[in-house]
Structure 1
């Protein structure tokens, strides 16, 4: 039972690297099956968000799991190793607890990561790649996250990527109330952003998505309109604020499309927030004079504002995590000695069966039951004590002293 976790996140890698190793929802199950079927990995779960890609697994050969991730994304291992963190056993437990509790997030104490981690576990369960170790790890992880959020103020003074996007837009436009807002995608992140922007009562809201039905469902909540992604070129120029977060592996808004929109707008500024990994908007768009383009990494500074009030709570949360890590590691170590305990019991049971069968044969021949019982008890005692006695008699020096002390401790033998 060897717990191991590895990955990259916003602390260790820029967006350009993170987007290369991101897993898309539609191929995540296949990725898990591929890892477990073709590598010496017994269990696996993958967490892939805009800020991190992490693999949690039960394996005796961690390097092969790392090589698999590089190969899966058609990369050389050395291309991602400088950005990787590798976390064996106790470090992996602590990391999982900190991630779920919002202590490792770009936004300290944010809650979205907990839902994303739960979804990652659900996907692994559906793929059949969860076993005893990971089930126990994540069960404990969610319990720790609940304790942290319930007993500390880590979630107070809520800030989020969505709130940061609104604050950035307010730096560009005097009033969002006078602007048209376009959301590209209809997932959880877009829904959060829509809630924040809708609170500013913009002039109009439009939702663009691959499927019109889902776009319309979200748009109706905010009194907005809905279109498909194919309709974007015809509508882009009408919108001052664009927020995008899809699972598309390729950019949705290219430089050419945005150039045409800016020209149609007569160079009125356009504010864009790309929360997708990989990016939905071509990087070159950010070089245009009339476009203010922000990625998830660009939001970090804005998010940091107002975070000081959470620092004391974070220290309290770290203490909770530390204590719960020790408890889980104790459980893992106990599980690791189960085979030895089972072997000891099997060994003793063989002695029991042998002597019981011998005693039954004696009784069948009419031997005195009292003598048979005494004989069986003496034989069992001799067999149980033969191995430690033999070991003591055949070693010397410090090794003998250490073994004698251990046996006294095991059998509660005290010096006279």
Structure 2
């Protein structure tokens, strides 16, 4: 089982690409679906990897894990992607040790998101780690690190305005519609995909555009039916896609297919359409942008929206960074203590042995009749004191001798 002993932080890497150096089309070549994720994890041991997870969103594709060299992680990640490892390496950022840990905290807080403070990343991080955990690739180190990142993110959410307002990629789509389409109530809206982003978008349409004139289509029809019933909109089977593209004025695509769901041929000569593609890889054929009746907008274009809400968020960044610093300090303290666990266990074993030595029994005659539970408590008190001192001073050998001396001294009183 990975992660049972203290890990060398210098061997913890993150390798990734994000919106800062790549556009949606390139990121789409390195997006990882659930099926690809499962296949990559099954291959990981052959690459010498046993503790890792992959975060693939519309903003980024990143792999986190322990390795001798980051190239192991990059080669694994790119094994099944459309893009190759050479291209990825040219565009990627690679961080190790504390730099990788700090990056992960920034990502979890929304500081590294395409829209500052986008809190959707938290759910995406949880899903990514849960998937890897179920396959046995999350060890003690990763579990503790992820929990620390989530706690930090929650503290930032509750104590700052970094995620204040209603700005996310899905909400940016709503803003774009509101600013560019008149008479929303009279428009037919088609929403493809009822996953996390599709669900959020549908709710935002109802809440902020004030319309339920929405038709849902999903590859799994039961999921579309469930959401339609919950929100009071309609759904149709996927085989009616072409008919409803023809009827729709606004088409929002939030699917995760490997190839485009909506083709140029679907849209040609079908009336004026606003098409918003929230998918990575893009699920609307790029050539449809050339049609005179189509206005196509993707996630990169939506994320350029910069309003007063985002300016307010920027003012909260220093406070968010201070919270992150506190949680990183707590995590590194925990990791330092993990290094001492073998020594502490060895001392505990030795103290139990000392109780049986004739010289100790002669020195502390009362201990022969001591209840085992009392003896265990005394040993644990000594170990706790030793751990506290080791945390403050890097003097393992001295603390070992002092612990034995303290145990004998307290036993003779």
TM-score range, shorter chain: 0.7 to 0.9
CA-to-partner distance for each residue in 1:355-390, whole Å, 9 max, x for gaps? x79x89xxxxxxxx99xxxxxxxxxxxxxxxxxxxx
Give the direction of change, closer, same or farther, for the CA distance of 1:190–1:212 in structure 2 (3 Å limit): same
1:72 is paired with a residue of what secondary structure? coil
Cα deviation for residue 264 of structure 1 reads 3.8
For the aligned residue pairs, the C-alpha RMSD in angstroms reads 3.0
Cα deviation for residue 292 of structure 1 reads 0.8
Q: Within 5 Å, give how 1:7-406 maps onto structure 2.
A: 7-35=16-44, 37-73=45-81, 75-199=83-207, 200-202=209-211, 204-259=213-268, 263-265=269-271, 269-303=272-306, 306-336=309-339, 338=341, 341=343
Question: Any conservation in 1 of the 2:212–2:232 contact (CA below 8 Å)?
Answer: no
In the alignment, the residues of structure 1 paired with residue 115 and residue 23 of structure 2 have an alpha-carbon distance, to the nearest angstrom, of 16
Cα deviation for residue 303 of structure 1 reads 5.0
2:78 is paired with a residue of what secondary structure? helix
Larger Rg: 1
Cα deviation for residue 95 of structure 1 reads 1.5
Q: Which moved more, 1:124-133 or 1:39-48?
A: 39-48
CA-to-partner distance for each residue in 1:182-238, whole Å, 9 max, x for gaps? 000111111111112223234721111112221122223343321222211122111
What are structure 2's unaligned runs of at least 5 residues?
A: 1-6, 364-394, 403-413
1:8 is paired with a residue of what secondary structure? strand
2:163 is paired with a residue of what secondary structure? coil
1:4 is paired with a residue of what secondary structure? strand
Question: Any conservation in 2 of the 1:160–1:303 contact (CA below 8 Å)?
Answer: no
Question: Any conservation in 2 of the 1:179–1:203 contact (CA below 8 Å)?
Answer: no
In the alignment, the residues of structure 2 paired with residue 246 and residue 39 of structure 1 have an alpha-carbon distance, to the nearest angstrom, of 31
In the alignment, the residues of structure 2 paired with residue 242 and residue 11 of structure 1 have an alpha-carbon distance, to the nearest angstrom, of 27
CA-to-partner distance for each residue in 1:89-124, whole Å, 9 max, x for gaps? 111211121111111112222221111111111111
Question: Any conservation in 1 of the 2:75–2:85 contact (CA below 8 Å)?
Answer: yes
Give the direction of change, closer, same or farther, for the CA distance of 1:329–1:213 in structure 2 (3 Å limit): same
In the alignment, the residues of structure 2 paired with residue 56 and residue 203 of structure 1 have an alpha-carbon distance, to the nearest angstrom, of 41
Cα deviation for residue 150 of structure 1 reads 1.5
Give the direction of change, closer, same or farther, for the CA distance of 1:304–1:297 in structure 2 (3 Å limit): farther
Q: Which moved more, 1:156-165 or 1:84-93?
A: 156-165
Q: Which residue of 2 aligns with 1:378?
A: none
In the alignment, the residues of structure 2 paired with residue 112 and residue 407 of structure 1 have an alpha-carbon distance, to the nearest angstrom, of 44
1:16 is paired with a residue of what secondary structure? helix
Cα deviation for residue 28 of structure 1 reads 2.0
Question: Any conservation in 2 of the 1:164–1:303 contact (CA below 8 Å)?
Answer: no
1:306 is paired with a residue of what secondary structure? helix
Question: Any conservation in 1 of the 2:212–2:233 contact (CA below 8 Å)?
Answer: no
Give the direction of change, closer, same or farther, for the CA distance of 1:249–1:344 in structure 2 (3 Å limit): same
Question: Any conservation in 2 of the 1:209–1:228 contact (CA below 8 Å)?
Answer: yes
Question: Any conservation in 2 of the 1:4–1:58 contact (CA below 8 Å)?
Answer: yes
Cα deviation for residue 58 of structure 1 reads 2.0
Give the direction of change, closer, same or farther, for the CA distance of 1:194–1:138 in structure 2 (3 Å limit): same
In the alignment, the residues of structure 2 paired with residue 139 and residue 43 of structure 1 have an alpha-carbon distance, to the nearest angstrom, of 16
Give the direction of change, closer, same or farther, for the CA distance of 1:196–1:67 in structure 2 (3 Å limit): same
- Give the count of matched residue pairs: 358
What are structure 1's unaligned runs of at least 5 residues?
A: 361-368, 371-405
Question: Any conservation in 2 of the 1:247–1:276 contact (CA below 8 Å)?
Answer: yes
